[in-house]
Chain A
Amino acid sequence: MLRYTLRRLLWMIPIVLGVAILVFTLMTFCPGDPAQILLSGSATDEDIQALRDNLGLNDPYLVRLGNFLGNTFLKFDLGSSWMTKVAIKDEIATRLPRTFTLGIISLLISVAVGIPLGIIAAVNQGRLGDNIATALALIGASIPGFWLALLLILLFSVKLNWLPSMGIGGVKYYILPALTGCTYGIATLTRQTRSSMLDVIRSDYITTARSKGVSELHVITRHALKNALIPIITVVGTHFGMMLGGQMITETIFSIPGMGSYIIGGVNQRDYPVVQIGSIFLAIVFSLSMLVVDLLYAAADPRIKARYSQSAKRKVKTK
């Protein structure tokens, strides 16, 4: 298991490098001159040229790529934003906890609501409980996040004046963004849980469990759910990656200074260092959450675990 984890971590190096090179190249050949944007319309051509020299924009592509990769991965110097001159490292240090908090809250709500809802739907297949849960999931999956966010602001901030509509602060600032963020998660988790539970619930080993005198609750939770878990873990993992990578739309609408709005701002202003580091950050977060997902597979299913540690001393007989 440890060997597998280490191998996967090593594999992240080429992935992250690849993403870094790709994003750098895309930004280079993207139209729009950052120096011009930085200096606004009144600047003279000389001013612009001077700034381009200063930022190193006039160097050949390969030299700039080399500098960027060297600074980032060898010196761990993430640079600073061209716009605000604030070190990216410091920005991440203040923004990441906000995105992280928001992501974790949304994810927890999604899991806590979505999985039970899916189980209820599967157990009552074709009956009222199933219809209600499936309808809720369909609505949740179809509502666009930005529209839901606006509706929530309209109701809870404008009409009722219960919750703040933007910014950060105490717990109540997280409520509306978390509600927006978890809706899609609840919907996809409900649907995934329902369908994989339905696959499992008709299995012979479920009948075996019933024939032992196991109560219906334990048949569902101990026997069925654990077998249905693999596709559910996949959905949770993807959702987790998306949440940590910053919910760009949610953060923008609610004006939360998190990772998502940081990267979006960087793209709009051709703030190359911010976009590049932001993308590398996203790549790392996604690779890590996929690794966690794969490790959770092994925890949930001994057959997958056996496959991971095939190189280990004991040869497993496959049948």
Chain B
Amino acid sequence: MTETKNAPFLEINDLKVEYFTKESVVHAVNGVTLTLEKGKTLGLVGETGAGKTTVAKSILRILPDVGARIVGGEIKLEGRDLLKSSEAEMRQIRGKRISMIFQDPMTALNPVQRVGDQIAEVIALHSNESAEAVRKRAEDMLEMVNIPRERYSEYPHQFSGGMKQRVVIAIALACNPELLLADEPTTALDVTIQAQVLRLIAQLRDKLGTSMMLITHDMGVVATHCDTVAVVYAGSVVEYGTKEQVFDHPTHPYTIGLFGAIPNMNVDERWLHPIEGLPPDPSHLPTGCAFHPRCKYATEACRTGEVPTVITPDGHQCRCHNTDAVLKGEGK
């Protein structure tokens, strides 16, 4: 492996992942290209089933070994392709350099293992410290996520959902990872806990200087926590730029639709504005641009062939044939 100088911290090139059964092949990720700089946060936004979690699991290579395969592409961590690394090398990276916060705290913890031990396990795996030192560090992690260290020996069923999610966060951050993959870390939580958990993640990230990939479908979360944003639709990145670029000048019709779906609190709106139609069936993706059946700007060119990645006037990327028309607000 050659470690190129000046290589971006994390670079994903043309990643393609498929899930397959005997009957069908699901194209979950279709050529995703992203980069993430050290210490920055990238937001991955999109609907359920758009392939966001699959991207994150591909980075750690923890996709299910039966039924999923990475078909092509590269995932480079400081210039080194993780997809070409051996399983033993990946084990050194998992939990230590890259770690993941999972979506559902209710099922992410082992129900028959003490919560403290679940934190201690990852510490013990990636350090040579004595058992007492490991336990002390695990207790420190519990306190860091505002759980009294006395509760080390309790089991997940004795914890509330929010506390479980904080344990999951403690596991993910226990070895000061360089990259944190946060997969909808607050979706399963009550609204009141959501902000608290996100603030906690952000604090810890700032303290440890960790880069983060934040997977969410909440534009508000992106606005507060991310530096760059990638909008994912049907396994492809359709719009990609800094948070300011994407929020101030959304260019892809899908992104515009997402922002349009947020109700405006200042006016008395009777109806929400959803994006018309349904996300496509990933086992039968439409030809051409996957969004064209729902797009009011769709032209003949959108129905077939590759969609070009266009650089918009303010310098961010957008995968669309008709950016000019969209920016002028034509169509319908």
* Interface of A toward B, CB cutoff 8 Å: 125-126, 202-205, 207-216, 223, 226-227, 300-303, 306, 316-319
Is B277 an interface residue, CB under 8 A from the partner? no
> Chain B residues with Cβ under 8 A from A213's Cβ?
90-96, 122, 125-126
Q: Number of residue pairs across A and B with beta carbons under 8 Å?
A: 86
Contacts of B94 on A, CB cut-off 8 Å? Answer: 210-213
B99 on interface, CB distance cutoff 8 Å: yes
Q: Which single member of A126, A207, A215, A303 contacts B111 (CB below 8 Å)?
A: A303
A316 proximity list for chain B (CB < 8 A): 157-158
Residues of chain A contacted by B109 (CB below 8 angstroms):
205, 208
A316–B160 alpha-carbon span in the complex (Å): 12
| Residue in A202, A213, A216, A301 whose Cβ sees the most chain B Cβ within 10 Å | A213
A-B pairs with the 10 shortest C-beta distances?
Answer: A213-B94, A212-B95, A213-B95, A204-B107, A302-B155, A212-B122, A205-B110, A213-B91, A210-B62, A211-B100
Q: Contact check, A319 vs B157: say whether CB atoms are below 8 A apart.
A: yes
Sample (23) of A-B pairs whose CB atoms are under 8 Å apart: A125-B66, A126-B66, A204-B107, A208-B102, A208-B109, A208-B168, A211-B62, A212-B121, A212-B171, A213-B93, A213-B95, A213-B96, A213-B122, A216-B87, A223-B110, A226-B112, A226-B113, A302-B111, A302-B112, A302-B155, A302-B157, A316-B158, A319-B161
B64 within 8 A of A: yes
Are B121 and A214 closer than 8 Å at their CB atoms?
yes
**Nearest chain A residue, comparing its CB with the CB of B161:** A319
Please, how many angstroms separate the alpha-carbon atoms of A211 and B102 in the complex? 10
How many positions in chain B have a CB within 8 Å of any CB in the partner chain?
A: 35
Look across to chain A and name the residue whose beta carbon is closest to the beta carbon of B168.
A208
B179 within 8 A of A: no
**Measured between C-beta atoms, what is the minimum distance from A299 to chain B in Å?**
10
User: Is B143 engaged at the interface, CB distance under 8 Å to the other chain?
Assistant: no
A319 touches B122 (CB 8 A): no
Q: Which residues of B approach A to under 8 Å, CB–CB?
A: 57, 60, 62, 64, 66, 87, 90-96, 99-100, 102, 104, 107-113, 121-122, 125-126, 155, 157-158, 160-161, 168, 171
How far apart are the CA atoms of A168 and B90 in the complex, in Å?
56
B90, B96, B99, B112 pick with most chain A CB within 10 angstroms: B112
Residues of A within 8 A of B158 (CB): 306, 316-317
Contact assessment for A300 and B112 in the assembled complex, using a CB-CB cutoff below 8 Å = yes
CA distance A3 to B20 in the complex (A): 52
Residue of chain A at shortest CB distance from B66? A125
Neighbouring A residues of B100 by C-beta, 8 Å? 211
User: How far, in angstroms, from A316 to B125 measured CA to CA in the complex?
Assistant: 32
- The residues of A that contact B155 with a CB separation of less than 8 Å are 302-303, 306
Given the complex of chains A and B, what is the CA–CA distance between A209 and B108 in angstroms? Answer: 9
- A125 cross-chain contacts in B, Cβ below 8 A: 66
CB distance from B52 to the nearest CB of A (A): 15
Contact B102 A207 (CB under 8 A): yes
> How far apart sit A226 and B118, CA to CA, in the bound complex (Å)?
14
A319:B160 contact, CB within 8 angstroms = yes
**Besides the contacts A205-B111, A216-B87, A306-B157, what 8 more A-B pairs have beta carbons closer than 8 Å?**
A203-B107, A210-B60, A213-B122, A226-B113, A302-B155, A317-B160, A319-B160, A319-B161
Give the CA-CA distance A209 to B92 in the complex, in Å. Answer: 13
Among B66, B95, B112, the residue within 8 A (CB) of A211 is B95
Write out the residue numbers on chain A whose beta carbons fall within 8 Å of the beta carbon of B92: 213
Contact B102 A212 (CB under 8 A): no
The answer on a CB contact under 8 Å between A227 and B62 is no
Task: Write the chain B residue with the least CB distance to A300.
Answer: B112
The reply to whether A209 and B110 contact each other, CB–CB distance below 8 Å, is yes
Report the bound CA distance from A205 to B60 in whole Å.
Answer: 15
How many whole Å from A175's CB to the nearest CB in chain B? 37
Name the B residues within 8 Å of A302 (CB-CB): 111-112, 155, 157
Which chain A residue lies CB-closest to B88? A215
Cα distance A318–B159 when bound, in Å? Answer: 9
Contact call B93/A208, Cβ cutoff below 8 A = no
Q: A211 vs B56: C-alpha distance in the bound complex, in angstroms?
A: 11
Within the complex, what minimum Cβ distance (angstroms) separates B328 from chain A? 46
